[in-house]
Amino acid sequence: MKQIIEVQERLQTQSFKNLPQELQRFLITAKGKYMQLNPNCPHCESINVVQNGYYECESQLIKSLGLSIKHGHCLCKTCGKTFSTKYPELEKFLNDLHRFLAENCFRLFVRGLSFGAIAEYIKEHFGMSITDETARQYYKEIVLEYKDEKSLQTSGFFCVDCQHMKVNGEKSYRLSIIDAKTKACIADVVIDAENNMQIINRLRLHLLPYKIKGFIVDGKLGLVVDIKKEFNVPVQRCIFHIQQLIVKDYIKKYGKALSLLQLRNMYMLLSIFADHDSEIQFLNRKIDEKVIKQDEKKGLEEFYEFRKSLKKYRRKEERYLIPRNEQEMKEKLAKAKLFITEKHEKSRIEKIEKEWEYITQFLHVEGLPATNNNVEHYYSKTLTKTEKKRFRGIEALKEKITACKIVYNKWFKPTISLQDILQKYAKLFLYFSA
């Protein structure tokens, strides 16, 4: 009789009416021990089994949440082997909690937080302590999960460009391939050098599953020619990039403080590719006024104010870059040749004439864009100018680039919400609060 009383005291429990059906043969003691009633030995199926203590869940996350979960330990007197009674809801909670933390570490890192800042954020907002390295491993886990993910549907037209990076102060190069119409990131990789051979080899590798209809490329003419020769498809030299080179020519020659005449000549070259007639007409008026009033400074101020309002209007009307047809481009080129006399200006016109076939491909191939803007937008949305120079190792750079691709393509979508975690934690707290 005395022995029965001792057993009853040892198995004294709280009342839990909401335990799942599969747990009805189990109980949780007042001291947080989860144990099985009348267990069978999983090794020999014997019922000659006695309780043999417990082992406590060693998860630091569980302990930081104020939970003390003890798994009942049993001894089989028939075969002499031991086994434990694991709480299945704990495993589900730990898996969900692990996923929740991994997703948040990934989300916070791509938003610009360091791993140290992420660890502090987790502690402050979720009450759980993790180390910087744990945060990095969580982030890396999500990156590896999507590493081999691919965009299967493409238009066949691809923007190609390289971004210059720095790893420990040393130059590195990021090659990106973006679908010119769907804007999906097809590939985003680190290459050893920005040379034609490496770029073409990577294009051949990453575009192997797709039908290639054409490319839009920045950079030197040699790359454009080599890509066309390799893939035998139309290759468009980005018009926006050529316009950038025109502006750089003038800044290199005269500095940023251009005169009215220099600005007018620059816009005459820019206007070969897109409609800048408004700027040219305004500048011509100011040049005429200058002859009479000898007040260039005021004319420049008025032009920059006019250009600012014009940009705002074009953005609002979505007419910022109005392309010309080929006949208009030829007429503007001929007009520029009549007015422009400086050596660097003539040199740029000669280059434009030499590259004319590649500059005008978009006019002859349906669906081929005139600019590489999609890949430029991709770079502006992923790695900023300051961020792209801060990497300390090539692996960290590769992980970050993969993460950029994942977020940009909208592959990553959180699967575990804070509400899910709190609901499961509330049940565990009710059963096992320390």
Question: All domains of the chain, ordered by start, with CATH?
Answer: 2-87 (no CATH), 157-237+372-408 (3.30.420.10), 239-363 (no CATH)
pLDDT digits (tens, 9 = 90+) for 40-87: 888 888 888 888 888 888 888 888 888 888 888 889 999 989 988 888
* pLDDT score, position 201: 93
Helix axes 88-110, 394-408, angle to 10 degrees: 100
What percent of the chain is predicted at pLDDT more than 90? 42
- Of 236, 193, 204, the C-alpha closest to 218 is 236
Tell me if residue 368 falls in helix, strand or coil: coil
* pLDDT score, position 270: 92
In this prediction, residues 224-238 reach a mean pLDDT of: 94
The count of other CB atoms within 10 Å of the CB of residue 295 is 13
Contact 287, 259 (CB under 8 A): no
The residue count of the chain comes to 434
Lowest-pLDDT range of 103-107, 190-194, 281-285: 190-194
pLDDT digits (tens, 9 = 90+) for 85-132: 888 888 888 899 999 999 999 999 988 888 999 999 998 988 888 899
pLDDT tier for residue 31 given thresholds of 50, 70 and 90? confident
Q: What is the mean pLDDT of the chain?
A: 85
pLDDT digits (tens, 9 = 90+) for 7-16: 333 333 433 4
Residue 221 has pLDDT above 80, yes or no: no
pLDDT digits (tens, 9 = 90+) for 364-381: 999 999 999 899 899 888
Q: Whole-angstrom Cα distance, residue 294 to residue 287? A: 9
* pLDDT score, position 317: 63
pLDDT tier for residue 396 given thresholds of 50, 70 and 90? confident
